[in-house]
Amino acid sequence: MLTVPGLCWLCRMPLRCAHWGICSGCTRAVRQREKVCPLCGLPAGQENIACGRCLQNPPPWQRLVAVSNYAPPLSPLVHQFKFFPRPEIARPLARLLLLAVRDKPCPAPDILLSVPLHARRQWRRGFNQSDLLCRPLAHWLQCRYTCATLSRLRATSVQHHLSARRRKQNVKDAFHLELPVGGLHIAIVDDVVTTGSTVAEISRLLLRSGAATVQVWCLCRTL
């Protein structure tokens, strides 16, 4: 439910379709327009060819889709969604992600996977933002989703306070698969991808467990 019914979360102008949450003008404004590498999501010369970085050191996933880079007007809304008790923003943000996915030649996933929080951190926050994004996406895409597919074994340090090297060490062996994923095409859904350490660790775990392909879908990619 919107706090002010019928107003866009970004520009506060009246909405023609109130349940969308973000108007068509703001939807166009936040969409990524520069050319980015299809693997890492960072700026590149070609949209459909892996960049030099990925040719030399490819990520463990097969595709990364982001709505935008981590910049206004979307980044303040994502920050508000993540660090304040505003779960009602999840559905409008999930719709932006759905539109971004449909713009790319991505194979349809068999199952969506949310990045889990440790139980203590989720209790403090009151929700898992990745889980809230997955629920409407799974309904719209008609694919499987359960938050019980993956669990976090231990409490890790907050990633945005760490260097790239420490982020990688921080999440090493931090996750455990609770359900089989053999032969499945999987999309990992997260709010922000910065160095990619978390989704890389999860991707390697999924591929070792027999997943056919792994994609990463996020709202923002930090450049």
Do 3 and 112 belong to one domain? Answer: no
The rounded percent of the chain whose pLDDT value lies above 90 is 64
Residues 102 and 210 in one domain: yes
Read off the CATH number of the domain in which 106 is found.
3.40.50
- How many domains, in total, are found in the chain? 2
User: Does 26 lie in the same domain as 95?
Assistant: no
Taking alpha carbons only, the member of 116, 120, 134, 127 closest to residue 198 is 116
The domain of 83 spans 33-221
Answer yes or no: is pLDDT of 69 > 80. yes
Within this chain, do residues 162 and 128 fall inside the same structural domain, yes or no?
Answer: yes
pLDDT tens digits, one per residue of 5-37: 689 999 999 988 877 899 999 999 998 678 999
Q: 86 and 13 in one domain?
A: no
Contact call for residues 54 and 40 (beta carbons, < 8 A): yes
Task: Tell me whether residue 73 is exposed, middle or buried, using C-beta atoms within 10 angstroms of its C-beta: 0 to 12, 13 to 18, 19 or more.
Answer: middle
Residues 40 and 61 in one domain: yes
| Both tokens assigned to 159 | 């990633």
Report how far residue 149's alpha carbon sits from residue 128's, in angstroms, rounded to the nearest whole number. Answer: 14
Q: What is the DSSP letter of 89?
A: G
pLDDT above 70 covers a percentage of the chain that reads 90
Asked which of 116-120, 125-129, 158-162, 211-215 is least confident by mean pLDDT, the reply is 158-162
149 pLDDT above the threshold of 80: yes
